[in-house]
Amino acid sequence: MYKQKIRVGSRESKLAVVQTKLVMDQIAAAHPELDLELVTMKTTGDIILDRSLDQVGGKGLFVKELDRALRDRRVDITVHSLKDMPMETPEDLPLVAFSKRANPLDALILPEGAKALDLAKPLGCSSARRVLQLRKLHPELETKLVRGNVITRLHKLDTGEYGALLLACAGLERLGLSHRISRVFTDEEMIPAAGQGILAIQGRAGEDYGFLSCVDDLEARCCALAERAFVRTLDGGCTSPIAAHAKRLEDGQLKLTGLYVDETSGRHTVGSISGAPEDAELLGRELANKLKGEVADER
């Protein structure tokens, strides 16, 4: 029997492939009539590892090649970590589904076998957002840029280059590395990056992606829309120190917490807003403008 082929694009890193296969497994379980093929590719962001992302063009470097493959029809959909995606989505390549959110929090990882943080060595962190919030918690800590995939970073940690790492819980858990987590920061200690823990599926405008209803999670979609609207309103890219985290409350309301940093003055503020999930993007814009106004009033 003929099966419709769906080619699924992914970065070739181990984590990206694991995440893409999670999505493919969901589709395969719901749609046995589809023939799914994994297509991997190396992106510019995976190749340039000696500089921070904001020095070489931002996290858009992780999606350019995948976008090109979609436009060239070499793949039918692509799977991304939402936190790695630019805040502006091309009109011809919409985000067509959002996976159920995994653990959105950040974690401290110590070297294999270590029981305590070694303050004599720098803490490896590639995120301005994490560095800013870590300095409030531990002003005595020195931080140092670390690039590469999760496995590469853990190797650098375990061979003595760093005293600890800061990484997303979701990536470690998806790789089966939960045992490496030494401490999980609460969302009050360290507000996560917009979209952290959510996988985004991107497609081409005007095409039928009804088969992705088995992947698309309404709560994750609302959280994603609120968080990305917050960052976008503040003109922050995905390498900005700006942070945003939304979650559904027991009463069904959506609560969005945001961190805004004025990169010129260095002033920053944190605030929250709650409202109906269907107003997710409006909530993001409202909170962004509120926090921006607060920082401006301090001048």
Say if residue 95 is in the same domain as residue 18: yes
Say if residue 112 is in the same domain as residue 75: no
Say if residue 208 is in the same domain as residue 222: no
pLDDT at 50 over 90: no
d(CA 103, CA 114): 24
Say if residue 205 is in the same domain as residue 62: yes
Give the range among 107-116, 241-250, 288-297 with minimum mean pLDDT. 288-297
Say if residue 121 is in the same domain as residue 167: yes
Strand pairing report for 34-41 and 4-11: parallel
Q: What is the per-residue pLDDT for 49?
A: 45
Q: Which two structure tokens, joined as six digits, stand for 149?
A: 């995939």
DSSP 40: E
pLDDT band for position 210 (50/70/90)?
very high
Q: Torsion angle of alpha carbons 264, 266, 269, 273, nearest 10°?
A: 40
DSSP 82: G
Residue 85 covered by a domain: yes
Residue 191 covered by a domain: no
Residue 299 covered by a domain: no
Say if residue 63 is in the same domain as residue 207: yes
Q: Is the pTM of this model over 0.85?
A: yes
Say if residue 142 is in the same domain as residue 250: no
User: In the sheet that 143-144 helps form, which strands lie side by side, from edge to edge?
Assistant: 143-144, 123-124, 164-168, 106-109, 181-184
Residue 189 covered by a domain: no
Range of the domain at 139: 106-184
Say if residue 249 is in the same domain as residue 120: no
164 CB contacts (<8 Å, ≥6 apart)? 108, 109, 110, 111, 117, 118, 121, 123, 124, 157, 182
Q: For the domain that residue 274 is a member of, what is the CATH number?
A: 3.30.160.40
CB 70 within 8 A of CB 79: no
Q: Which of 84, 118, 208, 251 is catalytic?
A: 84
Residue 8 covered by a domain: yes
Report the pLDDT averaged over residues 260-274: 89
Report the pLDDT averaged over residues 45-64: 53
Say if residue 77 is in the same domain as residue 204: yes
What is the Cβ-side half-sphere exposure of residue 205, based on CA atoms within 13 angstroms? 6
Say if residue 178 is in the same domain as residue 241: no
Assess whether 84 carries a catalytic annotation.
yes
DSSP 110: P
The DSSP bridge partners found for residue 34 are: 4
Over residues 11-40, the pLDDT tens digits come to: 999 999 999 999 999 999 999 999 999 999
| Domain total of the chain | 3
Listed as own residue / partner, the contacts of 30-37 with beta carbons closer than 8 Å and 24 or more positions apart are: 30/211, 30/214, 31/211, 31/214, 33/3, 33/4, 34/3, 34/4, 34/5, 34/6, 34/211, 35/3, 35/4, 35/5, 35/6, 36/5, 36/6, 36/8, 37/5, 37/6, 37/7, 37/8
Residue 240 covered by a domain: yes
Say if residue 246 is in the same domain as residue 124: no
Residue 56 covered by a domain: yes
Q: For the domain that residue 147 is a member of, what is the CATH number?
A: 3.40.190.10
Among candidate residues 172, 164, 194, the one with its CA nearest the CA of residue 86: 194
Residue 190 covered by a domain: no
Say if residue 201 is in the same domain as residue 83: yes
Domain boundary among 142, 163, 184: 184
pLDDT at 89 over 80: yes
